[in-house]
Chain A
Amino acid sequence: MREHQVDRLTLYDRTFTSRLLLGTARYGSPRQLLDASLAAEPALLTVSLRRQLAGASGSGQPFWDLLSQTNRPILPNTAGCFTARDAITTACMARELFNTSLIKLEVIGDDANLQPDPFGLLEAATELVKLGFQVLPYCTEDWVVCKRLLDVGCQVLMPWAAPIGTGQGPRNPNAMRELRKRVPNVPLIVDAGIGLPSHACQVMEWGFDAVLVNTGVSRANDPVAMARAFAGAVTAGRRAFLGGPMIVQELAVPSTPELGRPFSIDLDVSSLCGS
C-alpha cells in the first residue's frame, strides 16, 4: 500500500481509521477509562445495559456523560444473555438507548468459560437481522457456525482468541488462520482472550481486520500506557500484514551477501583481481 492511501476498517456502512475496539469495563476510575480511550483512539467503545446499581461509577448518567466526553462511536453488547430471547430484547433496548443499529451479539452457552452458545447465537442473529440490526456476533472460530451466521445476514464476525477475560492469547491459531482464509473479504474482529499487545499484533499479522480488547487494558498496572501499546501493536500488525511477511525457511539463508566475503577463497579469484 502506498503512503497516501488510507487503510480503513469497514463495518457494514461505516468506516473507521482505527482497527482497535476498546471495552469500557473494569477500569480503576472513570478518569482512567477516559484517558485510556484518549490514548487508544479506538474505532468503537463497547458498552452494556444493566439495572441501576447504587453507587456504581460505571453506570447511569455519570457513565453516559463520560461516553460523551470520549467522543467515540458506541458499540453496545448483549453481555450476560443466555437465551436468544433475552439477547433480542436487550439489543432492542440498546438500539433505543444508544441510537445505533450496531450490536455486539453475545449469547453465552456456558457460565464457566463464557463460551458462545452457537444455537442461541444463530437464532438471535437471524431475528435481529430481520429487525434491521447490524449484527456483530461474538463466536468461536468454528467454521460451520461462522458460515451459518454469514448465511443469515451477519456481515461481520467476532471470533474469540480465548475465553473472555483470560488474556491467554490465541488458543487455536490454526483454526483462526483457517477461518481467515475461508472468508478473506468478511471483516473479522478478534474478540476476547487478548491479553498482550503481542497477541493483538499477531492476529493482525494473520490478516484479521481488528481487535477488541478490554481486560488486557483495564487490568494492566497502567491502563493508559497499555491502551497506547495496544493501539501501536494493532497498527504494527496491520502494516505487517499489508507488507506481506517473508516465507519461513527450513534452513539458514545468509542475509549478508556471500560474494566478496573477506578471507574467502573464490574459485574465480583471478577474474575478480583483474589479472
Chain B
Amino acid sequence: MFVIVNGCQHLVPDPHTLEELLSQLSPPIPFAVARNEEFVPVGNYHECRICPGDRIEIVHPMAGG
C-alpha cells in the first residue's frame, strides 16, 4: 500500500500496524512518530492500525533555538 512518510509517498508491503511499518522503514534512532497529525506513543505502535494514504511523520532531535 501507499503511505505518506514525511511528506513523501512510500510503497510498502501492507503493514498492518505502525510497528510493522517502522520495522520496514528502519528510521535511525532516536525518533518519535505521529500518524495523521496525532502523536503515537511508543507503547502504542503495535496496536496503531495503518491504512492506505495515512500520513506518517517521523522526527528526530535537531538543533533549535
Contacts and interface: CB of A to CB of B under 8 A. Distances in A.
B29 A51 contact: no
B59 A49 contact: yes
Interface stretch (B16-24, B31-39, B46-54): B31-39
A92 B29 CA distance: 17
Interface string A148-189: 000000000000000011000000000000000000000000
Interface string A37-63: 000000000111111100010111101
A58 B61 CA distance: 8
Nearest to A21: B65
Contacts of B37: 85-86, 89
A93 interface: yes
Q: How large is the interface on B (under 10, 10 to 19, 20 to 34, 35 or more residues)?
A: 20 to 34
A79 interface: yes
Contacts of B41: 96
A89 B30 CA distance: 17
B53 to A, nearest CB: 18
B63 A47 contact: yes
Given A89-B34, A92-B39, A47 B61 contact: yes
A33 B60 contact: no
A51 B62 CA distance: 9
Contacts of B33: 93
A58 B59 contact: no
B60 A49 contact: yes
Contact of A58 (B27, B29, B63): B63
A48 B28 contact: no
A47 B51 CA distance: 32
Contacts of A67: 61
Nearest to A57: B63
Interface stretch (A24-32, A200-208, A230-238, A252-260): A24-32
Interface string A91-105: 011101110000000
A79 B57 CA distance: 16
Contacts of B34: 89, 93
Nearest to A61: B28
Q: What 6 pairs between A and B have smallest CB-CB spacing?
A: A48-B64, A23-B65, A214-B65, A58-B63, A93-B32, A92-B39
6 contacts: A25-B65, A49-B61, A52-B58, A58-B63, A63-B60, A86-B37
B28 A63 contact: no
A149 to B, nearest CB: 20
A215 interface: yes
Most buried by A among B30, B38, B39: B39
A140 interface: no
Interface in A77-120: 77, 79, 85-86, 89-90, 92-94, 96-98
Contact of A97 (B7, B30, B38, B63): B30
Most buried by A among B31, B34, B39, B65: B65
